[in-house]
Structure 1
Amino acid sequence: MIQEYIESKYGFKVHTAYIAEVKRNLGLPRHEVPNAVDELKNSKKQPILEKVEAIKDALKHFGII
């Protein structure tokens, strides 16, 4: 739903990894995965500020933050 909201409002797509990274940075709970690690071995490419702001807006829209 977050991806659809961002695409319809802002006109670009965001990867689920970017959404997870923003949620991780905000300290929000994420989907529980039994073999997940708290800290990534390889740092992923960080989303650009425009995408971070769009993801935060979508999280606010859906009442997550």
Structure 2
Amino acid sequence: MNRSIENFTVVKKLTRSTILLIFLQAKIPKHFQNYRDNNLENFQRPELPTDFNFLEESKKANKLELYR
């Protein structure tokens, strides 16, 4: 029984990921959209900083985690 619970959790996570990807491709439906949020209105793809190669390893790891 324990294995089936683990399998269900994985399927649930994959399903949520798939739905999120569809939202990102098709944009958020208007009835979910928050029109007062400028970050949502003007969505920009995340980018690594231009000085990324010159950062310390700890700061690089932090920036990579934010980018991920």
Greater share of helix: 2
Structure number with the bigger relative contact order (C-alpha 8 A, sep ≥ 6) is: 1
* TM-score normalized with structure 1 length: 0.27
| Structure possessing the higher radius of gyration over alpha carbons | 2
